[in-house]
Amino acid sequence: MKHGMKITTTGTGLLMFLVIWQLLAWIIHRPILPSPAEVLPIFFRLLFGELGLHMAASAGRVVSAISLALIIAVPAGLVLGQSRSLNRIFEPLIAIIYPIPKIVFLPVIYLLLGISDLSKIFLIAIIIFFQVLVVVRDEAANLHRELILSVRSLGAGRRGLFRFVYLPATLPAILTSLRVSVGTAIAVLFIAEQSLTTHGLGYYIIVETYQVLRYPEMYAGILAMGFLGVTLYFIINRFEFYFNRHLRLDDE
Amino acid sequence: MIAEVKNLTFTYGKQPPVFENFNLKIQRGETVSIIGPSGCGKTTLLHLMAGLLRPKSGKIVIAGSPVFRPRPQTGLVFQDHGLLPWATVLDNALLGFRIRSFYGPDGRHALEESRTDKDEAMRRVNRWLIKLGIDSLINKYPAQLSRGQRQRTAIARTLALEPDILLMDEPFSALDAAIRENLYDLVMKIHRESALTVIIVTHNIDEAIQMGKKILVLRGSSNRQSHYIENHIAGLSDYQNRPEFKILRKELRVLLNE
Residues A159 and A178 in one domain: yes
The H or E element spanning position B44 is helix B42-50
CB atoms within 10 A of CB A170: 24
Residues A157 and A190 in one domain: yes
**Does the beta-carbon distance from A152 to B143 stay under 8 Å?**
no
Q: β-pairing, B65-66 with B74-77?
A: unpaired
Q: β-pairing, B197-202 with B31-35?
A: parallel
Which residue from B50, B87, B143 is facing A153, i.e. has the nearest CB?
B50
Which chain A residue's Cα is nearest to B144? A249
Do B84 and B91 meet the contact criterion of CB atoms below 8 Å apart? yes
Closest CA to B200 of B62, A150, B188: B188
Give the closest-approach CA distance of B205 to chain A in angstroms: 24
Residues A23 and A128 in one domain: no
pLDDT at A251 over 60: no
Q: β-pairing, B165-169 with B74-77?
A: parallel
**Does the beta-carbon distance from B76 to A169 stay under 8 Å?**
no
DSSP H helical ranges for A2-98: 7-28, 36-47, 50-82, 84-97
d(CA B141, CA A120) in angstroms, rounded, equals: 43
Residues A49 and A25 in one domain: no
Residues A8 and A93 in one domain: no
**Does the beta-carbon distance from A154 to B161 stay under 8 Å?**
yes
Sign of CA dihedral A99, A100, A101, A103: negative
Residues A103 and A14 in one domain: no
CATH assignment of the domain containing A163: 1.10.3720.10
User: What SS3 state is found at B38?
Assistant: coil
Residues A108 and A88 in one domain: yes
Those residues whose C-beta lies under 8 Å from the C-beta of residue A7, and which sit 6 or more positions away, are none
Per-residue pLDDT of chain B (258 residues; tens, 9 = 90+): 899 999 999 999 888 889 999 999 999 999 999 998 888 889 999 999 999 999 999 999 999 999 999 998 999 999 877 999 999 999 999 999 999 999 988 877 877 766 678 899 999 999 999 999 999 999 999 999 999 999 999 999 999 999 999 999 999 888 888 888 888 888 888 898 888 999 999 989 999 999 999 999 998 767 777 778 889 888 888 888 888 899 999 999 988 886
CA B179 to centroid of chain Cα atoms: 18
- Burial (CB < 10 A; 0-12, 13-18, 19+), residue B86, is buried
Q: Residue A168: its chain B contacts at CB < 8 A?
A: 84, 86-87
d(CA A78, CA A97) in angstroms, rounded, equals: 19
Task: Look at chain A and report how many structural domains it folds into.
Answer: 2
Residues A75 and A145 in one domain: yes
Give the DSSP letter string of A118-136: HHHHHHHHHHHHHHHHHHH
Residues A15 and A76 in one domain: no
**Does the beta-carbon distance from A149 to B78 stay under 8 Å?**
yes
Interface residue B79 vs chain A (CB under 8 A): yes
Which chain B residue's Cα is nearest to A167? B86
- Burial (CB < 10 A; 0-12, 13-18, 19+), residue B61, is middle
Q: Which domain holds residue A16?
A: 1-33
Those residues whose C-beta lies under 8 Å from the C-beta of residue B38, and which sit 6 or more positions away, are B203
Q: What is the pLDDT of residue A250?
A: 61
**Does the beta-carbon distance from A249 to B157 stay under 8 Å?**
no
Residues A69 and A16 in one domain: no
Give the closest-approach CA distance of A93 to chain B in angstroms: 29
Do B96 and A151 meet the contact criterion of CB atoms below 8 Å apart? no
Residues A80 and A3 in one domain: no
Do B251 and B49 meet the contact criterion of CB atoms below 8 Å apart? no
Residues A28 and A44 in one domain: no
